[in-house]
Amino acid sequence: MIRLALWLLGALLLAGVVHLATVLLLPRMATQDAYARVSGIAPINTVIAIPPPTPEKALMPFMDPAFQVSVCRYDLSQGPLKFSVPITQAYTSVSFYTRSDVAYYAINDRAAGRKVIELDLMTAAQRAELPENEEITAADRLIVASPTTTGLIVIRALAPESGWIPAVRNALAAAQCRMQ
């Protein structure tokens, strides 16, 4: 009886290990995560419009249908990126995700405080390599450091009413994401 209880205890401890290991490993193993889904339609370092979600088809679950969305799948291995998007009348935001879909930074039009949201995206190592004298100009240059070499920049612009959609799309079409 005691022997059985010991085996059971061991089994449960092992179950805990299995549980934690699968939870921690799943984000690395997932083949249908948002990054993978975006990779199917978006080339590297290019802004691509994501088709608005419909009941029949949506690139990702839980997309907000009131928003027009564009995405830049970035790869910083060749150097930093320059990103810019003109803001729209209502609301524009730019969110940054790591390769494993973790949102590490997001900024909206009001926080940016200009007609165009402009920033430089680089890895921590590339930022450290910035020459000293550029630090002075860095004050009016927004620098975002990516924790991973690849990831996603997601631009979301709200069309508060359906009549706004063409204007919002136009603004997003002017978004740029390219090597310096």
Q: Applying CB under 8 A, which residues contact other proteins?
A: 3, 7-8, 10-19, 21-24, 26-27, 30, 32-34, 36-37, 53-56, 58, 60-67, 90-91, 93, 95-97, 100-108, 110-111, 147, 152, 154, 156, 158, 160-161
* CA 38 from centre of chain: 10
Gyration radius from the chain CA atoms: 21
CB nearer to other proteins: give 78 or 114.
114
**Considering the complex, what minimum distance in angstroms separates the CB of residue 4 from other proteins?**
8
Q: Which residue do the tokens 């010991």 mark?
A: 6
Kindly report the three-state secondary structure assignment for every residue of 52-106.
Answer: CCCCCCCCCCCCCCCEEEEEEEEECCCCCEEEEEECCCCEEEEEEEECCCCEEEE
CA distance 127 to 138: 11
**Considering the complex, what minimum distance in angstroms separates the CB of residue 2 from other proteins?**
12
CA distance 45 to 56: 29
**Considering the complex, what minimum distance in angstroms separates the CB of residue 26 from other proteins?**
4
**Considering the complex, what minimum distance in angstroms separates the CB of residue 126 from other proteins?**
19
CB nearer to other proteins: give 101 or 179.
101
CB nearer to other proteins: give 61 or 131.
61
